[in-house]
Chains A and B, each alone.
Chain A
């Protein structure tokens, strides 16, 4: 019994390592050749998991083979566009200028219901508001609303908004995020000082502290329900 348990744990680790070795794209955006790898890895791990008479290597080696194939195919696809098109396919335009491309729909076996569903998922409920719909190689349908139906952007209004970049979490659950401190060219002494100003004796008392690109510091203490947002630097001083 323990053997099966330990083997399962080891195969879980091996599958996890294999997935990590293949990179982040595996999880969210599967191309056809990646989908094959994911399905096969699940199957390969399951076979020796329960069969104590089968060496673990019989599960791990095929996984290694898949990692090798995947790594090499991915590299080849990056280098040769034609191979990529052959293995992953090309985007197919299903709707152009508000007109449904019936021939293309039939060719890729997407029916009108699928197209309507994709429009609704994109937040467009009226087909007359759609300019272009594209079936991506990954199988999702992207929808571009007509220019007069899409939400207004600052550039439509002639505005030039201030850059709104990624905020830097500086303390998470009492732990200082040194990488982010370095990125923002800030010191731990400065962080302590700001925490003290906000009424915290030590940084361990802080649940979350985050600096945004407008120079505002958001602080929430552990076990507290209130937050404070204070301007600690000028937006021009923001360097990340």
Chain B
């Protein structure tokens, strides 16, 4: 009996702590890529193509490093959406396609926001 309660309470503590830490980590990743989308949009609008290319490559390489760990925490579809948006953005920058870039930036922003929003501890998600 005491063991069961102890297991339950320990598990509860682990889940709460894990939940808080992962939510914080997801928020940071999400914020980082929302900011990246904004930064890239500014560079594209100013037509600073070499800088935009360099920045997009840095963000894409960073994202590829994060994906395996993120896939342990969130649905793979959500990480795939960000991967696709980044690839699309890079291709559009290389093609110097402003409308395509803006569309890809908007897509990246929404997908990055979704990373955090989908599993955030909110009443809307709970219900």
Closest-by-CB residue of B relative to A65 is: B15
Q: Given A61-B15, A64-B15, A53–B5 Cβ distance below 8 Å?
A: no
Summarize B's interface: helix, strand, loop or mixed.
helix
Interface residue from B4, B9, B15 paired with A23 (Cβ < 8 Å): B4
State A99–B1 Cα separation when bound (angstroms): 39
User: How far apart sit A75 and B9, CA to CA, in the bound complex (Å)?
Assistant: 11
Q: Cβ of A21 < 8 Å from any Cβ of B?
A: yes
Contact yes or no, A55 B4, CB < 8 A: no
* Cα–Cα distance between A203 and B15 once the two chains are bound (Å): 49
Q: Does A122 contact B (CB under 8 A)?
A: no
| Chain A positions 108-129 with a Cβ under 8 Å from a chain B Cβ | none
CA of A23 to CA of B3 in the docked complex: distance in angstroms? 9
Within the complex, the shortest CB–CB distance from B69 to chain A, in Å, comes to 11
B8, B9, B72: the one within 8 Å of A57 (CB): B72
Picked from A21, A53, A58, A65, the residue with its CB within 8 Å of the CB of B4 is: A21
A68–B8 contact, CB under 8 A?
A: yes
- Chain A: CB-nearest residue to B74: A55
Chain B CB within 8 A of A54 CB: yes
Residues on B with C-beta less than 8 A from A52 are 76
Q: Which residues of A contact B9 (CB under 8 A)?
A: 68, 71
Given contacts A54-B75, A55-B74, A55-B75, contact A21 B5 (CB under 8 A): no
Distance of A72 Cα from B12 Cα, bound (Å): 10
Q: Which residues of A contact B73 (CB under 8 A)?
A: 55, 57
* CB neighbors of A among B62-91 (8 A): 71-77
A71 engages B4 (CB within 8 Å): yes
Inter-chain contact A71/B5, CB cutoff 8 Å = yes
User: Of the candidates B11, B71, B74, B76, which one forms a contact with A67 in the assembled complex, judged by CB atoms under 8 Å apart?
Assistant: B11
Known: A64-B11, A70-B8, A71-B8. A53 touches B75 (CB 8 A): yes
Whether, in the assembled complex, B7 has its beta carbon less than 8 Å from a beta carbon of chain A, the answer is: yes
Answer whether residue A40 sits at the interface, using C-beta atoms and an 8 A cutoff: no
Closest to B14 in A: A64
- Chain A 40-57, CB within 8 Å of chain B: the 1/0 string? 000000000000111111
User: Which partner residue on chain B sits nearest A55 by CB separation?
Assistant: B72
In the complex, are the beta carbons of B7 and A55 less than 8 A apart?
A: no
Whether a CB of chain B sits under 8 angstroms from the CB of A195 is: no
Taking A21-B4, A65-B15 as known contacts, 9 extra A-B pairs with beta carbons closer than 8 A to each other, sorted by chain A number, are A21-B11, A22-B4, A23-B4, A54-B75, A55-B74, A67-B11, A68-B8, A68-B9, A78-B1
